[in-house]
Chain A
Amino acid sequence: MLLAATTSFSLPSIDYLAILPELVLLGGALIVLLATSMVRGGLKRNIATAITMLFSAAALVTALVQWGRISAQGAETTIAHAIVLDGFSTFIGVTVLCALILSVLVGHDYLKREGIESSEYHILAMIAASGAVMMGQANDLIVIFLALEILSIALYVLVAFNPLRGESGESALKYYILGGFSSAIFVYGIALVYGATGSTNLGQIANFFSENQLIHPGLFDAGLALVLVGFAFKIAAVPFHVWTPDVYQGAPSPITGFMASVAKVGGFAALIRVTIAAMNSQSASWKPILYALAIATLLLGAIVALVQRDVKRMLAYSSISHAGYILIGVEVGTLAGTSAALFYLFAYSVMTVGSFAIVTVLGGDGDSDHDLGRYRGLARRQPWLGGALAVLLLAQAGIPFTSGFFAKLGVVSAAINGGSWPLALVAMIAAAIGVAFYLRVVVLAYMGSDEADATDTPSSQVNPQTRHAQSTLLLEGQSVATIPAVSVPLLSGIAIVLSVATTIFFGVIPGPLLDFAHSAAQLFLA
């Protein structure tokens, strides 16, 4: 009996090129695991980083090879239509892999500074990235769920991987419990959608809607709502964002940057495929939800960021606000909206990883010093680092001649074209609020140097105690003179330079990325 059942089961055909980036990443993770078990000490870290870089770069190359084939032969699905290979998935893959490469560069120096010799960071980061790439390729709700779990579970562990960091444990637990909860809701939503449409495959769901009319849409709407809750949690949309500031603050800084970019890219990739590709005909059901989410996310993220004193929490709220902009692109649902969302995701990922790289470098031993006061006079002590921070923060604010400007222009433009001009207006108001908190950091970095000036100029007659008292008052407990200049490690420096260069390059010459995003926005459905 058993034998008969087995023989009647035929393996679906597998196009290995379609899943090659994931395979390369998982293979890389295994090789790092093997290789680092044979050596000790700092060598372990060096080998792990070298192998990770090699495999990430290889995965990036395979993604580009995929792009070449899609351009020549068109998109396709494989493994029984569970995986799709199209421009969209390639774009997501490229974005995730760029974020991974930058994060590994930063992470290496972090591990070195903290004296961590194990290689969990590399392995888990590659696994998480493979999950995120898979989310861009998933053509079936079940596969989306699997990819989401691969991504999430790796991230739960990554948050807590530094045993010396007490607050990380709390963050990880919070992330894990809430994340697990949202996954459960997501699966429940999948079950209801399956009940309503008879399939979990996105292509078949779309077919179902093209041939049938739901007389009682309650079941489907409930399922859709639960699925959207699951996504909203992953992309940190208000009101499902409450975990974000705590987890971002508690996680080691390079992980925060990685998580902020990769988890959001993966979440949005699947969200776009589910809503715009599979359920386009049901947009009356999901558009109002995304509309409300976008407005709440934009405004709350920007307003709450204003009052943060901890830079990581501030960036957490800023990333929440960014999710609001990307949600606009999704809500609009047009080709322009999708391509704007994609452009935004890429620009956002690079800026975020770069910003957190600087936060990591400035965090000092133990990665604990993230108070705003730490940034006072930064540009004076370290003009290049201060300049890079200013560029990345102003890019996040959407200043011209940075990729952040075209990202915001794209979504706002799509919103107006799609008839959602109130969203566009809210987005611009949020951008104006956003400028205030990004500037707050920049102003600290560029000011406060003058208090230090006072110590440079001949003022020896001033009683040193008085001077100390003054500076204490000015610096809220931290004197400029006592803030040491930090040395920027080589690999982190490279990561920062790369992200700043990318941000400015696509701000001045946005054409190539715009075109890539535009052609990637045509979602393939089968």
Chain B
Amino acid sequence: MNSFLQSSSFPYIPLLLAIPFVGSFLVAVIPEAQKNIARWIGVAVSLVVLGLTIAMGAAFSTTAGGYQFVTNHSWASSLGISWFTGVDGISLFLVGLTALIVPIALLGANEHRKTKAYVAWMLLLETACIGSFVSLDLVLFFLFFELTLIPSYFLIVGWGGQRRAAAATKFFIYTFAGSAFLLVGILFVAYLHQQQTGVFTFNLIDLMNTHYSGTAGVLLLAAFTVAFAIKAPLFPFHTWSPDTYGESPAGVAMVLSAVLAKLGAYGMIRFDLALFPHAIKVAAPVLLTLATIGILYGALVACGQNDLKRLVAYSSLAQMGFIILGTFALSTQGLEGAVFLMLSHGIITAAFFLVIGMIAQRRGTSDIRQLRGLQGPAPVLAAVFTVVMMASIGLPGLAGFVGEYLVLIGTFLTHQWWAVVATLGVVVAAIYLLWAYQRSFQGKAEGENAKVRDLTYPERLVIAPLIILIVVLGVFPKPFLDRMTPSVERTLDYITLATCPPHHTCLPTSAGQHVGVINQGGGK
């Protein structure tokens, strides 16, 4: 086994997929009346997954940029599909994010109606998300990517707000239409690879050696990116997201915005950058422009929102813009910032939706116009909201700052004007968030607003991990960045070397220590 693909004696990834999947079935078959049992099984299963993920993170080697805990089994071999999974420094944290958010969503934003089905769908959604993050076979990735739709759809339809049917259907069709292009793209890549090498496979590492003519590369990149852009969402493919987040129940909105949205950005980093290094160079300005528009547009539209959920949805659009900006800036800082921002934004936005869910539970609405002066009767709630808000604005010392800062630095190094414009988004974010805070938490609480209960101790306990992580990520990002850096550098080195013109010497950012490794992996 070479150092690029490391397997481990303990089957972390198979267990990470099997445990929530089996748990979902377990919950589905217990009697309807046992609501609490269903919920506690769900929580227990998701906590086991979290523990396993932490153990995997601890066992993760910080020196190698390749894939670890790799498993590879042939599956539908006549179609060239294999069960090929593994994590690197980029996907590790997204798996961790999934494992973190699901138990918190189950504990903090539980549904009292049809609890059993709710928990079962949530666990299936967790399986599908983890599956997407660990897949290194393109069709396997596609399967999990598509599978996330089913539980999300039923969760929105079953537990959403007034216009849930329309929102869920819009979400499903948008995403499915995007995946249509993705599948055609995946198949095309595999066939080009077969023409060039004679081997028909969907193995990502093998497919990285495929060569494309200029136009084909750009078209294929477009096919892949549309699917990811819809999922992320990237402007102008975002129109489903405010409706969907707005109509989703709090727990589902947490998972959708914190984890599923990352699937789009992750797809761009994992597949776009790995498969189309040449085309990326061509398309980067376009994608950077869209990301920048998304940052400004999301921030401006967020200013006009009267519903906290929709406000966070548009703010998410802006944040996803930063992530994509960092991704396609193609500099170490930018990509590292993007990966870090995926993690921190996941935590921040989940905390946002959790707090908003708690407000909605107390007041029966998340409409800002009906909220006023909540900090009087509920000081702890207001404090929690403030921390999350400050992190989202990008206050130094909190999670949001590190990622945004790295992204802007990284973008400035390679595409300075985009960075300059994007910085405006940070300013506007401060405006709309502070304004929203002012409108709903300050002033004098009257009527219903004066009777709002503060956070109960169990609620404080549930939200505490998110707040702690927001602070830890902001103050002490090193253990996280250490694990990301080698994989980020390897990803960028690959692009540098692949796009290196003949008779030139291209120096990889990481001084060549992973160069040979890439070739080894490709030859496997």
Q: A439 — which chain B residues lie within 8 A by C-beta? A: 153, 169, 172-173
Q: Is B181 an interface residue (CB 8 A)?
A: yes
Q: How far is the CB of B30 from chain A (nearest CB, A)?
A: 13
Q: Inside 8 A of B381's CB, which chain A residues have their CB?
A: none
Write the nearest CB–CB distance from B318 to chain A, whole angstroms.
28
Pick the residue among B78, B142, B183 that contacts A514 (CB under 8 A).
B78
Residue pair A409, B184 in contact (C-beta under 8 Å): no
Q: Which residues of B contact A394 (CB under 8 A)?
A: 150
Knowing A400-B146, A436-B173, A443-B165 touch, does A514 contact B76 (C-beta < 8 A)?
yes
Q: How far is the CB of B180 from chain A (nearest CB, A)?
A: 3
User: Is A406 positioned at the interface, with any CB of B under 8 Å from its CB?
Assistant: yes
Q: Which residues of B in the span 312-371 have a Cβ within 8 Å of any Cβ on A?
A: none
| CB-based contact A400/B191 at 8 Å | no
Known: A409-B139, A410-B79, A416-B191. A446 touches B154 (CB 8 A): yes
Asked if B75 contacts A432 (CB within 8 A), the reply is no
How many Å from the CB of B81 to the closest CB on chain A?
Answer: 9
B157 contacts the other chain (Cβ, under 8 Å)?
yes
Stretch of A222-230, A317-325, A422-430 at the chain-chain interface? A422-430
Residue with the greatest number of chain B CB neighbours at <10 A, chosen from A410, A417, A428, A440: A428
**Which residues of chain B have C-beta atoms less than 8 A from A428's C-beta?**
180-181, 183-184
Do B173 and A432 touch (CB < 8 A)? yes
> C-beta contact mask, A391-402 vs B, less than 8 Å → 1, else 0?
000100001110
Q: Is B188 an interface residue (CB 8 A)?
A: yes
Bound together, the chains give a CA A435 to CA B77 distance in angstroms of 28
- A435→B173 CA distance, assembly (Å): 7
Which residue of the partner chain B has the closest CB to A418? B191
Q: When the two chains form the complex, which single residue of A401, A416, A443, A518 contacts B168, counting CB atoms closer than 8 Å?
A: A443
| Distance, CA A431 to CA B182, complexed state (A) | 13
Complex Cα distance, B128 from A400, in Å, reads 11
Compute how far the CA of A443 lies from the CA of B160 in the bound complex, rounded to whole angstroms. 13
Chain B CB within 8 A of A510 CB: yes
Q: Does B176 contact A (CB under 8 A)?
A: yes
With an 8 A cutoff between CB atoms, is B427 at the interface? no
Q: Report A-chain residues with C-beta under 8 Å of the C-beta of B144.
A: 400
Query: With an 8 A cutoff between CB atoms, is B472 at the interface?
Result: no
Task: Assess whether B15 is interfacial by the CB under 8 Å rule.
Answer: no
* Chain B minimum-CB-distance residue to A448: B165
* Residues of A contacting B78 in the complex (Cβ-Cβ under 8 angstroms): 511, 514-515, 518
- Distance (Å) between the CB of A373 and the closest chain B CB? 15
Beta-carbon contacts under 8 Å, B146-181 to A: 146-147, 149-150, 153-154, 157-158, 164-165, 168-169, 172-173, 176-177, 180-181
CB contacts (< 8 Å) of A453 on chain B: these are: 113
Nearest A residue to B117, CB-CB: A383
B169 near A443 with CB under 8 A, answer yes
Contact A510 B184, beta carbon cutoff 8 Å:
no
Interface of A is mostly: helix
Which residues of B sit under 8 angstroms from A406, Cβ to Cβ? 76, 79
- The reply to whether B76 and A447 contact each other, CB–CB distance below 8 Å, is no
Output the nearest chain A residue to B146 by Cβ-Cβ distance. Answer: A400
Known: A410-B79, A417-B191. A399 touches B157 (CB 8 A): no
Tell yes or no: B383 within 8 A of A by CB.
no
B143 interface hit (Cβ, 8 Å): yes
Residues of A within 8 A of B142 (CB): 400
Nearest B residue to A339, CB-CB: B78
B165 A447 Cβ-Cβ under 8 A: yes
CB-CB under 8 A for A446 and B157, given A409-B183, A412-B183, A428-B180 = yes
Instruction: Report yes or no: A443 in contact with B184, Cβ–Cβ below 8 A.
Output: no
B44 at the interface (CB under 8 A from A): no
Interface assignment of A207: CB less than 8 Å from any CB of chain B:
no
In the complex, what residue of chain A is closest to B158 when comparing beta carbons?
A: A446
A510 to B74, CA, bound (A): 12
From residue B107, how far is it (CB to closest CB) to chain A in Å? 25
Contact B157 A443 (CB under 8 A): yes
Say yes or no: A435 contacts B176, CB within 8 Å.
yes
Q: Is the CB of A435 within 8 A of B172?
A: yes
- A413-B158 Cα distance, complex, nearest whole Å: 35
A432 touches B180 (CB 8 A): yes
**Is the beta-carbon distance between B77 and A511 smaller than 8 angstroms?**
yes
* Interface: B515 (CB within 8 A): no
CB distance from B85 to the nearest CB of A (A): 16
A366, B164: Cα distance in complex, Å: 35
CB-CB under 8 A from A400, the residues of chain B are 142-144, 146-147
- B199 interface contact, C-beta 8 A: no
Residues of B close to A417: CB separation below 8 A = 187, 191, 194
**Contacts A510-B76, A511-B78, A514-B76 given: A401-B184 contact, CB under 8 Å?**
no
Complex Cα distance, B188 from A421, in Å, reads 8
Which one, A401, A431, A510, contacts B180 given CB within 8 A? A431
**Once the chains are docked, how many angstroms separate the CA of A235 from the CA of B136?**
39
Chain A's closest residue to B157 (CB) is: A446
CA distance A432 to B184 in the complex (A): 13
A356 contacts the other chain (Cβ, under 8 Å)? no
**Cβ distance A123 to chain B, nearest Cβ, rounded Å:** 39
A416 near B187: Cβ-Cβ < 8 Å: yes
Closest to A446 in B: B157
Chain A stretch 19-76: residues in CB contact (< 8 A) with chain B: none
Per-residue A-contact encoding for B57-78, CB less than 8 Å = 1, 0 else:
0000000000000000001111
Of B158, B165, B180, B190, most buried by chain A (CB within 10 Å of CB) is B180
A436 touches B169 (CB 8 A): yes
List, in ascending order, chain B residues with CB within 8 A of A514's CB.
76, 78-79
The answer for the CA separation of A417 and B79 in the assembled complex, in Å, is 12
Contact B176 A511 (CB under 8 A): no
Asked if A348 lies at the interface with its beta carbon under 8 angstroms from chain B, I say: no
Q: Contact between A401 and B76 (Cβ–Cβ < 8 Å)? A: no
Q: Which of B146, B149, B168, B187 contacts A412 (CB 8 A)?
A: B187
**Minimum distance in angstroms from B297 CB to a CB of chain A:** 25
Contacting B at CB under 8 A, from A468-526, are: 510-511, 514-515, 518
Knowing A416-B184, A428-B180 touch, does A409 contact B79 (C-beta < 8 A)?
Answer: yes
Residues on A with beta carbons closer than 8 Å to the beta carbon of B180: 425, 428-429, 431-432
Residues 385-414 of chain B, each 1 if its beta carbon lies under 8 Å from chain A, else 0? 000000000000000000000000000000
A-B contact pairs, 23 of them (CB 8 A): A399-B147, A399-B150, A400-B144, A405-B143, A416-B184, A416-B187, A416-B188, A417-B191, A425-B180, A428-B183, A428-B184, A432-B173, A432-B177, A432-B180, A435-B176, A436-B169, A439-B169, A440-B169, A443-B157, A447-B157, A511-B75, A511-B78, A514-B79
Residues of A within 8 A of B (CB): 394, 399-401, 405-406, 409-410, 412-413, 416-417, 421, 424-425, 428-429, 431-432, 435-436, 439-440, 443, 446-447, 453, 510-511, 514-515, 518
B interface, CB within 8 angstroms of A: 75-79, 113, 139, 142-144, 146-147, 149-150, 153-154, 157-158, 164-165, 168-169, 172-173, 176-177, 180-181, 183-184, 187-188, 190-191, 194
* Top-7 shortest CB links A-B: A428-B180, A432-B177, A400-B143, A416-B187, A400-B146, A514-B78, A435-B176
Given contact pairs A410-B79, A435-B173, a sample of 9 additional A-B residue pairs in the complex whose CB atoms are under 8 Å apart: A405-B143, A409-B79, A409-B139, A416-B184, A421-B184, A432-B173, A440-B169, A443-B157, A511-B76
